[in-house]
Amino acid sequence: MAGRMLHTMIRVGDLDRSVAFYTKLLGMKELRRRDVPDGKYTLVFVGYADENEQAVIELTYNYGVEKYEMGTGFGHLAVGVPDVAAACEAVRAGGGKVTREAGPVKFGTTIIAFVEDPDGYKIELIQRG
């Protein structure tokens, strides 16, 4: 399975403060923002280049949550693959754990799935090209 790292998601308690840190202090650019009122969250992607060129950071603000314990602040790694369903089957065939089968993301159309590594870290598989 050939793939490429796309983004790392972290949960934040103050979206404006976090965007300012990554853009003003670290020199990243705000690449895109998506507010999802029905899901009660906002996503902001920041990075040095577009996700088509290199990995970026997804800042996730869940409405009403101001603080996370460090252990719950990490969300998942994301890897772009050409066929999410086939990637899930390869993980399963290799003895890995698929925690969310391939299908469209909630409130969208992008095909995703989630698997876990041996330590329990979540990895999102995102269908690309």
- Active site residue ranges: 124
How would you classify the pairing of strands 74-81 and 56-62? unpaired
Residue 100: Cβ-neighbour burial (10 angstroms; 0-12, 13-18, 19+): middle
Number of H helices, E strands in the chain: 3, 8
